[in-house]
Structure formats: C-alpha cells, structure tokens
A and B are shown apart, each in its own frame.
Chain A
Amino acid sequence: MIPNYIGLITATSAFLGIWFGHVAVRKIEYISPTIWLPSLVALLLGLTMEVGALVADNLNLSAALGIIGITFLWDSIEFFRQHQRIKKGHAPANPANPRHARLLAKSNQATTIAWLDRNPIGRQLSPEELDSIPGSSI
C-alpha cells in the first residue's frame, strides 16, 4: 500500500491553527490598543487563505490553507470574545494597554489576576481562598 501523508498535513495545520487562536490571539489582544485592527487583519488573512485553498491544485496545500484559513476567520471573532473575557475578569488585563486600563477603571470585574495560572488542587476553592490569591484586591 502507498502511505497517505495528508493526515500529517491536516494534523499539523489544525494544531498550528488552534495554537494561534489560543495563544497568539491572547498575546496580541493583551497588547493591542484596538480590537478592530487585529480582527480585520485576521479576517483578511483568513479570506486570502480560503481563496488560496480554492485555487490550489495540490490537495496538501488546499488542505493546509483551508484549515488554517478557517481558524483565522474564527480568530477575527475571538479577538472580541477575548476582550469580553478581560471585561469579565476571566483573563488578566494589561494596565499598560489603554483599552484594558479603561476596563479596569470601569468594570469591577476586570482584574490583573491570571486565574488559570495555577495547578488544580482537587477541590473547589472557598471564597476566602479566592480572595487571598495575590492581586485579587485590585
């Protein structure tokens, strides 16, 4: 039988796409003064990649562009969702970012605590323990 390597291409593409949406979007949103600009860039990159996927004759190339392009289109929405997480206090705000500084001043939920930056302990945290996490009084 002939080995079929397209699964390796799609696995790598999907992993990179998820990584970008998960890690890079958070980092860019953290420092970007606006949401619309990174969102627009992700939208245009995603559309460009989907056009590339449509015109590519090579199946491997079409697969990689198709998968990464769709994740970029999703990322253009995800920038707005990340902003909402900052507003809600589920992701840490960056006081040096004017957009986040406004959220910190306006919303009593926004915080600089990185809540997820910890290991599980096997039980629910009590309100006192949640209060004692460094920075939670900000």
Chain B
Amino acid sequence: MNLFGLFLGIATLFIIGFGFFWVIRIEYSLGYYWWPYIMGLGFLVIVASIFVPSVWGAALLGAIGASLIWGSTELKEQAVRAELGWYPFNPDPKPQPPFIDLIKKLPLPHL
C-alpha cells in the first residue's frame, strides 16, 4: 500500500484552503493589481520544483505553485466581493505594483 498520494492529497487540500486566506489578505492590503506577480511567483515555484531532488518537496512545491496561479486570478473577484460589501473593504490607498500602467491594460484573468 502506498500512502503517498492520499497524504499528498490531504496536504494539497490545506494548501488550497490556505489560498482562501491569503487571497483575502493580499487583496485587502495590496489590492488586485498585484495579480501578475503572484501568478509569476506560482510559475517560478513550479519550475523550481524540477530542481528539487526530494519527491515530497517537489510534489508540495508543484501544488503550492498551482494554488498561487489560481489565487492570482481570484484577487479580482475578491476585490468585487469587497466592493459589494460581502467582505471588509479597505479604503486606504494601496501600494502600486511596478509597471502598474501596463498591468491595467492587461485583460483581467477570470476562470
């Protein structure tokens, strides 16, 4: 019997669950315009996993990277939820990400 997949699945459930938490926090404090950086970080983490010799290490990094990519597309929806009053809205000015003018021209990813 091989417990690897089952335990990895449970670990991934917690990684995804943590995504709900950080998407809310990042949108609140940084705003959704940071999404390309979060998405890029996700891809970097997945590519980095190729160079990790540990099976568990690489497997967890892959799941974390996928969760970062998904979460990056959720930031915009979270911003809408806050504007609708479903979540606390942060009226303070947010730190602007580098290349914000370019980011504003990008189509907002929606999955």
Size category of the binding interface on chain B: 35 or more
Interface string of B26-41 (1 = CB under 8 A from A): 0000001000000000
A19 touches B2 (CB 8 A): no
A138: chain B residues at CB < 8 Å are none
Total count of chain A residues near the partner, CB < 8 A: 52
Give the contacting residue for B46; candidates A8, A18, A56, A115; CB below 8 A: A8
A124 touches B85 (CB 8 A): yes
B76 touches A125 (CB 8 A): no
Q: Tell whether A62 pairs with B4 under 8 Å between CB atoms, given A7-B49, A10-B63, A15-B66.
A: yes
B49 touches A120 (CB 8 A): no
Interface residues of B (CB under 8 A from A): 1-10, 12-13, 15-16, 32, 46, 49-55, 58-63, 65-67, 69-70, 76-77, 79-86, 89, 91, 108, 111
Chain A contacts with B in 1-29, Cβ cutoff 8 A? 1-15, 17-19, 22-23
Closest 8 interchain pairs by CB? Answer: A66-B5, A7-B49, A53-B5, A7-B62, A70-B9, A62-B5, A10-B62, A66-B9
A123 part of interface (Cβ distance < 8 Å): yes
Which of B16, B32, B76 has its CB near the most chain A CB atoms (within 10 A)? Answer: B16
